[in-house]
């Protein structure tokens, strides 16, 4: 380029340099504009499984509509509380799928295929301590079958390419060209496919899909997760604006009688200053803002929690019915997990599942779900004392700990629950609220507080956290740190149902004699 410029006149050389610098400036500005607007919703080719849940989890829509999911022009499945599942928007006659993936230590990524409303298949690739495997699973997340893939071991921190080929009655997979799996499979025809992450940030990039067409033809779909359309539009807009400014500046200089190369030198200097500023903006954006989260609006969150409390309270009041003669009522107090966040359908929530399990009980047991998203133990106690105790439960199940930060306030609220229940002849059962062990490998920090209060008052305690941790290899249990999948909800119900039945049977009604021990 320098040798070519040496053949030009000094004036032409200056004009060329101005255009080159301004083109670079347009590229810088266009990149930031395209990246800011690079979201999965704008991309339009992907859907989020979390958005389809009847019992919504936090930030499902934000993930789809924010730059963090595609920061760095690659798909990040760990943003906005992790465990994101992103599915291609239409079913395709897949011939083969290949893509690059990057896993940090102690993580895994799942390539999902053959997805229907009832079940799906997948290849899970993990770095230690997670094992790689091929599985089939129900839509709830429970594995129906699984087979280890000992040769499929991506190296942590290194980009790896997975290729999956579909050929009639089987499929095969290779990592960086090395075969790692081959399994029989019923011919699927049209398939939905996508990716599912874990608690950590795992990445997907450079997706290539070959799909079979009529007469054996093959078409190609490529996905780089780059907002090329937005970049082109922004570049054209900025370049046009700069050219217009050049023309206006030229007219101004000529109107003032300026001659020679002085206006061109001024334009070049201004363009270089703008380019330096643009480069600084790009550097700051890439290093500080492209993947960062916004500052939470505390006041807005408080208002939302207040609306949720009012909504749940009004719903409970409108649904209140008289118990059948001799029946018992169990009231569940908790936050979003108790409400059922993460369940695909209302009937999948653990409170609903427990009631179904206890439906055969004689006398019948009614379960009331008083879970309110986002509330702390103290806030829930005030609602319980002022509103929900009037439901006259035989047993109150308290499933808490995740939303509370102040251990002393948490302990005080638990003491108040127990004291109020003792005063009104209501039994109490504590549940150690389960968390994803990928986020919380050990017992959550407030669980010892619950145990301490329970020991002081002889309140039974159920360790649902340990129960789910021991069964984490049976399927996908979590959508984030605290919200279970439908399968996770089922395991919580499995853990609690008999404990609740025993607590109800063992606690006398008001006026009854205590049961013989």
pLDDT digits (tens, 9 = 90+) for 320-341: 666 666 678 999 999 999 999 9
CA 212-216-218 angle, 5° bins: 45
Contact, 424 vs 473, CB < 8 A? no
Write the CA distances from 6 to 10, 24, 443, integer angstroms: 8, 21, 72
Sequence-distant (6+) residues with CB within 8 A of 11 are 261, 264
* Burial class of residue 223 (count of CB atoms within 10 Å of its CB; 0-12, 13-18, 19+): middle
pLDDT band at 252 (very low <50, low <70, confident <90, very high): low
Q: What is the DSSP letter of 484?
A: B
3-state secondary structure of 91: coil
This prediction has a pTM of 0.89
The CATH homologous superfamily of the domain defined by 46-223: Exo-inulinase; domain 1 (2.60.120.560)
CA 438-443-445 angle, 5° bins: 110
pLDDT digits (tens, 9 = 90+) for 49-72: 999 999 999 899 999 999 999 999
pLDDT digits (tens, 9 = 90+) for 216-239: 778 999 999 999 999 999 889 988
pLDDT band at 457 (very low <50, low <70, confident <90, very high): very high
- Among 477, 496, 497, CA closest to 487: 477
Mean pLDDT of 444-458: 96
Which pair of structure tokens corresponds to residue 448?
Answer: 């010892």
Say which residue the tokens 């370049």 belong to: 239
> Residue 43 and residue 86: Cα distance in Å, rounded?
12
Contact, 369 vs 401, CB < 8 A? no
Sequence-distant (6+) residues with CB within 8 A of 390 are none
- Among 191, 182, 193, CA closest to 149: 182
- Among 190, 219, 60, CA closest to 115: 190
Residue ranges of the alpha helices (H) in 330-406? 336-339, 350-357, 377-386
Give phi and psi for 259, each to the nearest 5: -135, 170
Residue 374, sorted as left (phi over 0), alpha (psi -120 to 50) or beta, turns out to be: left
> Residue 15 and residue 19: Cα distance in Å, rounded?
6
Of 31-35, 51-55, 113-117, 470-474, give the lowest mean pLDDT range.
31-35
Say which residue the tokens 């009004």 belong to: 314
> Residue 31 and residue 228: Cα distance in Å, rounded?
9
* Burial class of residue 511 (count of CB atoms within 10 Å of its CB; 0-12, 13-18, 19+): exposed
pLDDT band at 298 (very low <50, low <70, confident <90, very high): confident
3-state secondary structure of 487: helix
Contact, 210 vs 220, CB < 8 A? yes
Question: H or E stretch including 394?
Answer: none
pLDDT at 116: 94
The distance of Cα 211 from the centroid of its chain, to the nearest Å, equals 29
For domain 298-506, which CATH number applies: 3.40.50.720, 3.40.50.1110, 3.40.50.12240, 3.30.70.60? 3.40.50.1110
pLDDT band at 188 (very low <50, low <70, confident <90, very high): confident
pLDDT at 514: 40
């Amino acid at each position: 380029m320098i040798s070519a410029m040496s053949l030009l006149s000094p004036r032409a050389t200056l004009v060329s340099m101005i255009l080159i610098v301004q083109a670079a400036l347009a590229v810088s500005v266009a990149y930031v504009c395209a990246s800011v607007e690079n979201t999965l919703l704008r991309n339009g080719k992907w859907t989020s499984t979390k958005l389809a849940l009847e019992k919504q989890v936090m930030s499902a829509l934000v993930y789809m509509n924010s730059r963090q999911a595609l920061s760095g022009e690659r798909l990040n499945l760990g943003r906005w509380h992790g465990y994101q599942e992103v599915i291609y928007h239409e079913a395709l006659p897949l011939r083969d799928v290949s893509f690059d993936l990057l896993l940090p230590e102690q993580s895994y990524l799942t390539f999902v295929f053959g997805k229907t409303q009832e079940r799906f298949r997948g290849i899970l690739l993990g770095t230690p301590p997670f094992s790689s495997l091929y599985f089939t699973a129900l839509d709830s997340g429970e594995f129906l079958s699984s087979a280890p893939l000992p040769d499929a071991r991506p190296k942590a921190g290194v980009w790896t390419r997975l290729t999956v080929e579909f050929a009639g009655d089987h499929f095969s997979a290779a990592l960086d060209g090395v075969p790692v799996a081959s399994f029989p499979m019923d011919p699927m025809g049209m398939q939905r496919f996508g990716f599912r992450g874990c608690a950590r940030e795992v990445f997907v990039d450079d997706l290539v899909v070959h799909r079979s067409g009529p007469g054996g033809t093959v078409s190609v779909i490529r996905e780089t997760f780059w907002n090329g359309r937005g970049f082109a539009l922004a570049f054209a807009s900025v370049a046009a604006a700069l050219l217009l400014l050049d023309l206006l500046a030229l007219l101004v200089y000529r109107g003032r009688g300026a001659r020679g190369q002085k206006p061109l030198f001024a334009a070049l200097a201004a363009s270089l200053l703008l380019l330096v500023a643009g480069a600084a903006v790009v550097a700051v954006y890439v290093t500080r803002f492209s993947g960062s989260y916004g500052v939470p609006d505390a006041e807005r969150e408080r208002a939302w929690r207040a609306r949720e409390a009012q909504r749940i309270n009004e719903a409970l009041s409108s649904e209140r019915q008289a118990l059948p003669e001799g029946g018992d009522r169990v009231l569940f107090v908790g936050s979003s997990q108790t409400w059922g966040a993460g369940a695909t359908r209302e009937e999948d929530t653990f409170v609903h599942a427990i009631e179904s399990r206890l439906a055969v009980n004689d006398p019948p047991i009614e379960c009331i779900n008083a879970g309110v998203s986002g509330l702390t133990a103290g806030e829930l106690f005030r609602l319980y004392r002022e509103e929900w105790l009037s439901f006259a439960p035989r047993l109150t199940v308290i499933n808490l700990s995740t939303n509370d930060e102040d251990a002393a306030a948490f302990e005080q609220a638990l003491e108040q629950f127990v004291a109020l229940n003792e005063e009104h002849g209501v039994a109490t059962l504590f549940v150690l609220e389960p968390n994803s062990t990928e986020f919380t490998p050990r017992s959550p920090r407030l669980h010892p507080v619950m145990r301490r209060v329970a020991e002081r008052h002889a309140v039974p305690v159920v360790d649902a956290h340990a129960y789910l941790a021991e069964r984490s290899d049976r399927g996908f249990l979590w959508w984030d740190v605290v919200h279970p999948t439908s399968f996770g909800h089922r395991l919580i119900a499995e853990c609690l149902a008999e404990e609740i039945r025993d607590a109800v049977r063992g606690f006398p009604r008001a006026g009854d004699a205590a049961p013989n021990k």
